[in-house]
Amino acid sequence: MAADLKSMNLDELTELLRGLDEPAYRARQVYSWLHKRIARSFTEMSDLSKGLRGRLEAGYDGCFLKIAEHLRSKKDGCEKYLFALHDGNVIESVLMRYRDWNTVCVSSQVGCRMGCKFCASTLEGCVRSLSAGEMLDQVYAIQKDTGERVGGVVVMGSGEPLDNYAEVLKFIRILSGKDGLNLSQRSITISTCGIVPDILRLADEKLEITLALSLHAPSDAKRRRIMPIATRYTIDETLNACGHYFEKTGRRVTLEYALLSGFNDGKEDAEALSSLAKNIKAHVNIIPVNHVPERDFARSDKGRIKEFQNTLMRRGISATVRRSMGEDISGACGQLRRSYLKQAVQYDTMTDTV
């Protein structure tokens, strides 16, 4: 396979171009086209010699993702992109428009092997991990397509980012680097189901990103019923690792908690969750679960969600309820890709397709 230039940092790119007998400043030019000016092909890199553009076009991969589907929510301005990768796989990314900035939710793998019982991404397992370039280009392609700056990135699409540790780290460093989009690390969140050794490793990377832990249950017994990772690491071990992350980075950890009706949404669940969150000064993000047709979990009703939040707040926990977005366009993780794979995309629910 052709070398993927978008996954290279400036040093690696400099090394590669030196091998092609190009002067050192060329690497800066190519890097800037890829990561700052967001070129969509090597051909448009107009200050490179024609000869070099031709060589790059013929022999290298620039990870210029192709938009296979583009859906826009009628309700809330949320947009879903389905991208085709060079090997025929497809991945999805989501653009969320908040009042002050746009946030992109990126996928880190094609599918996922973590097996959470309420999630659509994992139904067919993990096909492969994405390269840093393939993650970066989800952000770049969306910024280019909308013409609007991306102000935040959450690695909360399909896949487990810590199961693709090296490439995700590279992605964060390039995305936040001054020679690229220069996105503040404080505007980047990665969400993990809780791979403890990698959380500990991440704490030492000297990053300022936010870590979100998918907790979803306040006891090991309950968590094991919905998340296979809970059979490998206890909640205690996992939250200790999160506490360590907070100590090392000064960044408060977010605990994500999807409310599954009648399973984890009782008052006693909220009380137990409060104690866990308090110990590590975590923020709690309550997620009204998105219905996945293949799964039999239902969303808790509005009153129950509010009550759950109130119980946490009364105990001094900072708790927000995640706004559901794009429900009319295959809202839940991995659903658009699945409907594409099943060739059952319902065009009549969309206002726009590209």
**Binding positions for ligand SAH, rule: CB under 6 A:** 114, 116, 118-119, 156, 160, 191-193, 214, 256, 258, 287, 289-290, 292, 332-333
Which SS3 state, helix, strand or coil, does residue 90 take? strand
Give the nearer residue to ligand SAH in terms of CB position, either 34 or 325. 325
Asked if 61 and 86 touch (Cβ cutoff 8 Å), the reply is: yes
Beta-strand ranges (E) seen in the chain are 66-72, 79-84, 90-97, 102-105, 109-111, 126-129, 150-155, 188-192, 210-214, 254-259, 283-288, 319-321
Give the nearer residue to ligand SAH in terms of CB position, either 14 or 300. 300
Give the nearer residue to ligand SAH in terms of CB position, either 22 or 160. 160
* Least distance between ligand SAH and beta carbon 334 (Å): 8
Asked if 277 and 218 touch (Cβ cutoff 8 Å), the reply is: no
d(CA 281, CA 283): 7
Asked if 103 and 168 touch (Cβ cutoff 8 Å), the reply is: no
* Least distance between ligand SAH and beta carbon 255 (Å): 10
* Least distance between ligand SAH and beta carbon 323 (Å): 12
| Burial of 116: CB neighbours in 10 Å, binned 0-12, 13-18, 19+ | buried
Give the nearer residue to ligand SAH in terms of CB position, either 52 or 172. 172
* Least distance between ligand SAH and beta carbon 160 (Å): 4
Give the nearer residue to ligand SAH in terms of CB position, either 138 or 214. 214
Give the nearer residue to ligand SAH in terms of CB position, either 17 or 78. 78
Asked if 185 and 238 touch (Cβ cutoff 8 Å), the reply is: no
Residue among 40, 73, 75, 32 nearest 57 (CA): 40
Beta bridge partners of 70: 81
Give the nearer residue to ligand SAH in terms of CB position, either 114 or 241. 114
Q: Which long-range contacts (CB under 8 A, 24 or more apart) does 30-34 make?
A: 30/5, 30/56, 31/179, 31/180, 32/179, 34/5, 34/6, 34/62
d(CA 293, CA 104): 25
d(CA 163, CA 159): 8
Cα three-residue angle 344-350-353, rounded to 5 degrees: 85
Which SS3 state, helix, strand or coil, does residue 278 take? helix
Burial 84-98 (b: 16+ CB within 10 A, else e): ebeeeebbbbbbbbe
* Least distance between ligand SAH and beta carbon 166 (Å): 17
Q: Which residues are catalytic?
A: 92, 333
* Least distance between ligand SAH and beta carbon 223 (Å): 11
* Least distance between ligand SAH and beta carbon 311 (Å): 20
d(CA 288, CA 296): 15
